Amino acid sequence: MPSPYNPYMPIQRLSSLLVNQIAAGEVIERPASVVKELVENSIDALSTRIDVTIEVGGKELIRISDDGGGIAIDQLPLAIAPHATSKISEADDLNAIATLGFRGEALASIASVSRLSILSRPREQVEAGLIEIEGDVGGEPRPAGGAPGTVVTVRNLFFNTPARRKFLRTDQTETGRISDMMQNLALAHPEIGFTLHIDRRQKLDLPPRQTPTDRALSTLGNELREELLELKANERGIGMWGLVGRPSIARGTSKHQRVFLNGRLINDKSISHAIKEAYRGLLDHSRWPTIVLFLQIDPSMVDVNVHPAKAEVRFRNQSSIHGAVLNAVRATLHKADLTPRFDLNRTQSLAGALAIPGAPLPEFGSGLEAKPLGSSSSTPASSTFVDYFKRLDPQQKGFIYSEVREALAIEAPEMITDPQPQDQHEEKLPGVKAVENVLQIHSSYIVTQDAEGIVIIDQHALHERVMFEKLKARIESSSGGGNLESQRLLMPATIQVDRNQAEAIGELQDLLTRIGIEAELMGPTTVAVHAFSSLLFERNVDPVDFMHDFLEKAINMGLNHDPEAALHEVLDMMACKAAIKAGDRLTEPEIEELLAYRQTVERSSNCPHGRPTTLRLSLADLEKQFGRR
């Protein structure tokens, strides 16, 4: 046990080694921190190639080699001195930092907890200089042979602070952190070539002078090329470029959301919130978008000197940054067709791709031709096509796969091939033509076509989006102070509630008023609804059922954290209640109107909860799988 602190101990000056080790505790958390600091120094030195070698998770060896500007031999002792740097010289420089490193403590901190050597040569000099240091014991620099640039070697990290070394994770975990760090640094600097060798195996090899797109795909994976949308914007003096992932490649964590500011990876809650808001209604709340976003801002408008590891920054105008990012990401998503596609390109045949495990494969004769969807004769492709839906989303609501498969095998679906002229349906959206080649499957799904192939629509999910947008538009255009229209009941509808729900009624009055509901307590556990939302009335939503669900959501999930967020959550619920249900048989005009709304409603590719409303099987995929091309 360490001896307790003695309050009568005299004040004394700490040794330089202890000072640097304390600083290392803030700057050098693990081997990946060493890699970050040294690679950033190489980037600041205007290197065109940076090579990184690690062994045993970086605990035994980290070597960073670059072809940058180099350090003169007489400057090497200063390079490892605390708070010595070539990147700033006066206090005003802190107001506009344009380099990645500037504190002047990284090399000193690393040297205090490792065996460090620096070999460096400026291009204008004929020989290099070498300096070695171990803890606080270091020699004088001496001449050595070396190419232009710098090689920093770190051995036995935390050898003299065993407590720190003990808290490091496994070699595999530390190696993974280094790989992630290198990918992030390489993403931010496509003009520089990077290599990474781990335990004598090459894990990364990126050439210099790549385009930002090629560098991003090299690190994220080229298979995502079709799933990423390019963002370009310049708003309020903020330059933005990035690759915005479609909702279909969202992840369960925020690991694949990367934001760079002036070449520096940052973690900013305001920007993360803006990105999340831009995807509102396209993703489930538990999912995170895949996005790489680069921001270019005047260095004087941001303070990067607020965190030892420089991971957090402070903006002079936080709201301006938030608004610019929100608008740019939202506009990029709005311009794109976000309909998910079936991926059949990974298979060699439709039979192999879609066959049921354990069932005999359908036989595809040489004379078989692809027939239009809804043809009167059944083909083996009909059942396998439905089986592919089952593999894609076995929880899809309202689709009883065994029944649909059987129906497709023995019946000719009813086709809508002769729609009524436009002037006979006054309720249709203006300018939208009647649709052709449409069928409704099992009173739950609408199948049609577009220029790209076959389109399958979940009628409930699409109508839910339509109803949500209608509710939102009514609130935004309401003359009653942003409240939905309400309709008074002839007799109040009464609901029995528990004590917690009864107490919540008073706190929820503002929210209830905004959605057009007038409700109050009539007794200790009785709530009376005197007026109800007109739109919910139009859709035959029962006030009692709705209030039960509303109060349950308010108690179990909370609706008081943010008024606007709470409003959106309730509008989501209202839209779900008011929407067409799976199992509802639709008339031809109803199908026609729903498809017309799909073309005009914002974000019609997803329901308000983020579930896709539409899936597409491209014509190119069909032709390829059937061997027609």
Q: In CATH, what number is assigned to the domain containing residue 147?
A: 3.30.565.10
Structure tokens at 558: 């909370």
How many whole angstroms separate alpha carbon 622 and alpha carbon 143?
A: 68
Hey, what's the torsion of the CAs at 160, 163, 164, 165, to 10 degrees?
Answer: 70
Asked if 73 and 141 touch (Cβ cutoff 8 Å), the reply is yes
How many whole angstroms separate alpha carbon 510 and alpha carbon 521?
A: 15
How many whole angstroms separate alpha carbon 22 and alpha carbon 388?
A: 59
Mean pLDDT for each consecutive 10-residue tract of the chain (629 residues)?
61 70 70 94 94 97 96 91 74 69 76 93 94 83 95 94 87 94 94 96 95 91 89 91 92 89 90 91 85 92 71 84 93 87 50 35 31 35 45 43 46 37 39 62 90 90 92 76 86 90 87 92 91 90 91 72 78 91 90 89 86 87 79
Together in a domain, 133 and 218: no
Together in a domain, 421 and 300: no
Q: Which residues contact 170 (CB under 8 A, 6 or more apart)?
A: 57
Please report whether residue 379 resides in a domain.
no
Together in a domain, 240 and 283: yes
How many whole angstroms separate alpha carbon 50 and alpha carbon 181?
A: 14
Please report whether residue 322 resides in a domain.
yes
Please report whether residue 356 resides in a domain.
no
CATH of the domain at 241: 3.30.230.10
CATH of the domain at 592: 3.30.1540.20
Together in a domain, 54 and 105: yes
Q: What is the pLDDT of residue 285?
A: 77
- Pairing label, strands 453-458, 445-450: antiparallel
Asked if 260 and 208 touch (Cβ cutoff 8 Å), the reply is no
Hey, what's the torsion of the CAs at 505, 511, 515, 517, to 10 degrees?
Answer: 20
Which phi and psi (to 5°) does residue 310 adopt? Answer: 60, 30
DSSP label of 490? E
Picking from 304, 335, 366, the residue at the C-terminal end of a domain is 335
Together in a domain, 184 and 134: yes
Q: What is the pLDDT of residue 230?
A: 95
Q: Which residues contact 330 (CB under 8 A, 6 or more apart)?
A: 277, 278
Together in a domain, 128 and 241: no
Together in a domain, 561 and 452: yes
How many whole angstroms separate alpha carbon 534 and alpha carbon 471?
A: 10
Residues written for the chain: 629
Structure tokens at 198: 């781990």
Q: What is the pLDDT of residue 222?
A: 86
Q: Please name which of 244, 184, 241 lies closest in space to residue 218, comparing C-alpha atoms.
A: 184
Q: How many domains does the chain have?
A: 3
Question: What is the sign of the dihedral through the CA atoms of 440, 446, 447 and 450?
Answer: positive
How many whole angstroms separate alpha carbon 26 and alpha carbon 68?
A: 27
3-class state of residue 493 by DSSP:
strand
Together in a domain, 105 and 217: no
Please report whether residue 474 resides in a domain.
yes
Per the listing, tokens 């070695």 go with: 132
Together in a domain, 271 and 177: no
Together in a domain, 438 and 565: yes
Q: What is the pLDDT of residue 313?
A: 83
Together in a domain, 437 and 464: yes
Q: What is the pLDDT of residue 316?
A: 84
Q: Provide the whole-model pTM.
A: 0.69
Asked if 530 and 519 touch (Cβ cutoff 8 Å), the reply is yes
Range of the domain at 179: 16-206
Radius of gyration of the chain (CA): 32
Together in a domain, 48 and 102: yes
Please report whether residue 181 resides in a domain.
yes
How would DSSP label each residue in 539-587?
TT--HHHHHHHHHHHHHHT-S-S-HHHHHHHHHHHHHHHHSPPTTPPPP
Please report whether residue 595 resides in a domain.
yes
Please report whether residue 102 resides in a domain.
yes
Per the listing, tokens 């204008």 go with: 124
Helix H, strand E, coil C: the string for 371-407 is CCCCCCCCCHHHHHHHHHHHHHCCCCCCCCHHHHHHH
Please report whether residue 460 resides in a domain.
yes
